[in-house]
Amino acid sequence: MNITDLFQRFDNSSNRESGLARFGTKLAWVEEAFLLTVYKPTAASIISEVGQELAFPSSLYDWFGYHNGATLFRTSLTCPGLRLFGCHSRGASLKREEASIAIDIRTVNRKKREIVAFGSYSYDGSLLLIDRKSEAVHCCYGREVEPYRASWPTLGQWMECELERLCGLFQGDGTCMTDCQGLVPGSGA
96 pLDDT band, cuts 50/70/90, is very low
Coil vs helix vs strand at 152: strand
pTM for this structure?
0.92
pLDDT of residue 35: 96
Query: How do 148-152 and 21-26 pair as beta strands?
Result: unpaired
Q: The domain at 3-172 falls in which architecture?
A: 3-Layer(aba) Sandwich (3.40)
Helices (H) and strands (E) in the chain, counts: 4, 9
- CB neighbour list of residue 111: distance below 8 Å, 6 or more residues apart: none
Residue pLDDT, tens place only, 57-94: 999 999 999 999 999 999 988 899 999 999 998 876 55
